[in-house]
Amino acid sequence: MTENNTKLTFPAIFAETVRKFGERNSYAYVGEKPRTYNESAREIKALMAFLEKFGVQPGDKVALLSNNMPNWSSVYFSITFMGAVVVPVLPDFSANEVSNILVHSGAKVLFVSSSQLAKIKEFQSEELETVILSDNYSVISAADKGLSFDPLAEPVRQYDVSEDDLASIIYTSGTTGRSKGVMLTHRNICFNAVKGKVIQPVDENDRFLSVLPLS
């Protein structure tokens, strides 16, 4: 729990932030219009409803292979808000490394940006059922390719995500052998974020500049 008794989970902390700062900008990419927290929350809900159409359940693995873009954050949060597990893949990994990660993680769904599509061109897996283009949420492959993203959709289920639920598996760019997956719970990640303010005090008036891959 945080100091104000907010659970250390992505959906709980994000909901509290939206409640306080809904009309403030949440993030912006160079050359693009900033998104407010309310706008981000709306898209996240629509993505949760979209993932429900493909049968994504709490605990399922959903991979995200994408260069930095506004949709990256929305996809990441929508997965964790459902209690599913996001598997972010570094965009500079080779096609072989990407294939190993998709197989090892057992990803059921993959979001991939157009710039990364070539890396999965030859990839096949019984577990990977759905591939979605992260640029515009169009369906590349699925059992039902007629399904489409509805920006106004609401998720059917109510999700109760706990602090000890697995949130993400991060594959390291190791120097020897295949990449190894680091399993992180909601508490692991959110605790670091909350306590980071002790080292670097921040408030709603501060801005951060990031040039690193979001993965």
Q: Is 40 exposed, middle or buried (0-12, 13-18, 19+ CB in 10 A)?
A: buried
Question: Which three-class secondary structure state does DSSP give residue 145?
Answer: coil
Longest dimension (CA), the chain: 49
Please say if the pLDDT value at position 105 is more than 90.
Answer: yes
Q: Is pLDDT of 176 > 80? A: no
Distance CA 24, CA 22 (A): 6
Distances (CA, A) of 178 to 85, 93, 157, 162, 193: 21, 11, 37, 31, 29
pLDDT tens profile 118-145:
999 989 888 999 999 999 999 999 988 8
Question: Where do the structural domains in the chain lie, given as residue ranges?
Answer: 10-26+33-199
Q: Which residues contact 94 (CB under 8 A, 6 or more apart)?
A: 119
- Quote the pLDDT of residue 10: 98
CATH no., domain 10-26+33-199: 3.40.50.12780
